[in-house]
Chain A
Amino acid sequence: MSKAVVKEHPLKEKLVSSFMAFEETIDVDSPVHDIRIEALKTFEDKGFPSKREEAWKYTSLNAILKHDYTVFPKVDASLDYSKVRDYFVHDMDSYKIVFVDGKYSSHLSQTTHEGIDVCLMSSALTKPKYQLIIQRYFNKTAAKDGLSSLNTAFSNEGAYIHIPKNKVVEKPIQIIHFATGNEAALMLQPRNLIVAEENSYVQIIERHQSLTDHPVLTNSVTEIFANKRAIVDYYKLQNDKEGASLIDNTYVEQKQESVARIHTFSFGGKLTRNNLNFYQNGERIDSTLKGITIIGNKQHVDHHTLVHHIEPNCESHQDYKGIYGDAATGVFNGKVIVEKEAQKTNAFQANNNVLLSDKASINTKPQLEIFADDVKCSHGCTIGQLDESAMFYLRSRGIPEKEAKALLMYAFGNNVLNSVKIPELKQRITKLIAEKLGVNIGFDL
């Protein structure tokens, strides 16, 4: 019997063959490197997902994987703060970890080791003082699928945040990855690790921003650990250029009585895939997953969420709103697993969508797997158009059609926006929404 010869994907070949060059730039003696080698094997084995897989049925990566991406940018790009200031939430005091084309930018950043560690993954992976944390947490929640494994294989740089026990971090932390595209097409694979120890509190804003019209592909992995009674508020602001695509793989592991809230604002980019996974390892855990998606043109946003209820008396709240114009396409797949032991689980899921044009579409699918018998699980999804009678009501009061539409759409996303806890960020998002809807009105008051 002869094995069929499968032609490998050129980008896969390129990535695999560049691994040796990558090894020359890192510490191959660290224990982490064994994890990388293992992950590379997994990627070689599994490769990129295809539409034949159920989880990728409505999102094809073909168009974005065909580019000849530079996987290790050779030129060190530097950026003037004045040119990128707008991508920061700049009217507040914050820590910043900023990368340009995958490399740390010290002059745009503001890291710290005072009481907390807000610094670089590359130093955390190599310096002995972080070794225990790395051993305990690094790659412990990330799935062993093709894309996460690919990121793990090349994991070296990103944000490392460690909040010790009982520490409340007042200032939000901003993680920003810029892509300058000085070299034609660029692929980035940032790796973030966030550990909030017992009874600590931290707020994080994450953004991936391309500054070029060249194609940019980011395959990011973020692992978040919320230990006993810790609270983590995490905001993802996705408003990228038309040529930029993002595959965001985020894994959240929670211990008892912890709270983790992730808000995802998807306002642009060619293709955005959010794989957001929550694992509840403890009782009385609260997990919140919320998002607003507003896209147009031929943009595509796919939210794949998973909440795994493992122990009793936990809650999860999912609320995703989508507004799709032009020929934009959306996907929402919300999976909730309630294990047999996870009695008294309270799981809520909602996905509401508005289609503004005949060519826009959304595929929405709740996926509940419930093995416990004493639980409260609800889910609902709606797809609709803007309410004509509401439109006439607003217009009859002198509010023009465009503004009336915007007001209704803003109102539609309002309860997601209301749970944003950083006022400056909330204001920024409000402004972005007005911008996306093409109006100049202040929604607040």
Chain B
Amino acid sequence: MLKINDLHASVEDKAILRGINIEVKPGEVHAIMGPNGSGKSTLASVIAGKEEYEVDSGEILLDGENIDELSAEERAHKGIFMSFQYPVEIPGVSVTNFMKTAINETRKAQGLEEMPANEMLKLIRQKSELLDIDRKFLSRSLNEGFSGGEKKRNEIFQMAMLEPKLAILDETDSGLDIDALRIVANGVNKLRSKDNAVIVITHYQRLLDYIVPDYVHVLYEGRIVKSGTKELAHELEAKGYDWIKEEIKVS
């Protein structure tokens, strides 16, 4: 589904990603871990199409198609979704209105009719129950005055509404208490299928107890320096990142 080949990317002429290789197949969950500043969030933003990031070389293929030239909205239309580490507050746009616009613009781009209002409301009800979201919450301005947990839950609610092919969860666990973490993880798990894939970006292993990865990659200084299965995450939790840094120095 997603294939990244020798990806180099920079922001304001500062190289951040220095040759990333990764392949994600349908139905898989990949975790990307690493110390602060290793390039995890950059990788997520580059896949999602943030314009400040310059792809210097390499390619990102979605179902075999190079998406480098596509805008953020075009990538969304093709099924890429990123859950933001810091969701933006947008006063004056309600959660419902936002979702309605996002879904209908996506449908428009896919050559489909707009979703009838009653169907939309039904979908909203269904998905908000899945994330244990209060209906009143949906008429509030997007993320404005939301707690950290509410923001993250709202991100996964959007994911549930948009049903992406590839979901990238950027530090979705940060700022969550254990109950919120469980709700969010539970929501993600319910949305998993053999046709979609999830990339979980996290600093800590704790989210991976709930969203169990098939593969774990360690990102350090813009490269994936180690890959393994979920046991690697436990090892990192126990030993920290220093041993990996040491390993790299040695090699």
* Minimum distance in angstroms from B85 CB to a CB of chain A: 12
Docked-complex contact B105 and A392, CB < 8 angstroms: no
Residue-wise interface mask of A (400-423) relative to B, using a CB-CB cutoff of 8 A (1 in contact, 0 not) = 110110011011111100000000
The majority secondary structure among interface residues of chain B is helix
Chain A contacts to B: CB under 8 angstroms: 387, 389-390, 392-401, 403-404, 407-408, 410-415, 441, 443-445
Bound-state CA distance A410–B90 (Å) is 11
Docked-complex contact A396 and B48, CB < 8 angstroms: yes
Docked-complex contact B73 and A407, CB < 8 angstroms: no
Docked-complex contact B101 and A403, CB < 8 angstroms: yes
- The verdict on A397 contacting B158 (CB below 8 Å), with A407-B101, A408-B90, A445-B94 known, is yes
Docked-complex contact A400 and B91, CB < 8 angstroms: no
Chain A residues whose CB sits within 8 angstroms of the CB of B75 once the complex forms: 396
Chain A residues whose CB sits within 8 angstroms of the CB of B72 once the complex forms: 392, 395-396
Chain B residues whose CB sits within 8 angstroms of the CB of A441 once the complex forms: 101, 104-105
Chain B contacts to A: CB under 8 angstroms: 48-51, 71-73, 75-77, 81-82, 84, 87-88, 90-94, 96-98, 100-106, 109, 141, 158, 162
- The verdict on A399 contacting B73 (CB below 8 Å), with A392-B50, A407-B101, A445-B100 known, is yes
Bound-state CA distance A414–B92 (Å) is 6
Mind listing 29 A-B residue pairs with CB under 8 Å? A390-B88, A392-B50, A392-B51, A394-B102, A396-B48, A396-B49, A396-B76, A396-B81, A397-B76, A397-B81, A397-B158, A397-B162, A398-B73, A398-B105, A398-B106, A398-B162, A399-B101, A401-B73, A407-B93, A407-B98, A411-B90, A412-B92, A413-B92, A415-B92, A441-B104, A441-B105, A443-B97, A445-B94, A445-B96
Bound-state CA distance A48–B7 (Å) is 66
Task: Across the interface, name the chain B residue whose C-beta is closest to A390.
Answer: B88
The majority secondary structure among interface residues of chain A is helix
Q: Which of A387, A389, A399, A414 contacts B102 (CB 8 A)?
A: A399
Chain A residues whose CB sits within 8 angstroms of the CB of B162 once the complex forms: 397-398
Docked-complex contact B93 and A387, CB < 8 angstroms: no
Top 8 A-B pairs, shortest CB-CB distance: A411-B92, A414-B92, A398-B76, A398-B106, A395-B72, A397-B102, A393-B88, A395-B73
* Minimum distance in angstroms from A322 CB to a CB of chain B: 15
Docked-complex contact B91 and A411, CB < 8 angstroms: yes
Task: Across the interface, name the chain A residue whose C-beta is closest to B84.
Answer: A393
Docked-complex contact B90 and A399, CB < 8 angstroms: no
* Minimum distance in angstroms from B211 CB to a CB of chain A: 21
Bound-state CA distance A344–B96 (Å) is 41
Docked-complex contact B73 and A400, CB < 8 angstroms: yes
Bound-state CA distance A408–B97 (Å) is 12
Task: Across the interface, name the chain B residue whose C-beta is closest to A392.
Answer: B50
Chain A residues whose CB sits within 8 angstroms of the CB of B98 once the complex forms: 394, 397, 407
Q: Which of A400, A401, A411 contacts B93 (CB 8 A)?
A: A411
Chain A residues whose CB sits within 8 angstroms of the CB of B94 once the complex forms: 445
Chain B residues whose CB sits within 8 angstroms of the CB of A398 once the complex forms: 73, 76-77, 102-103, 105-106, 109, 162
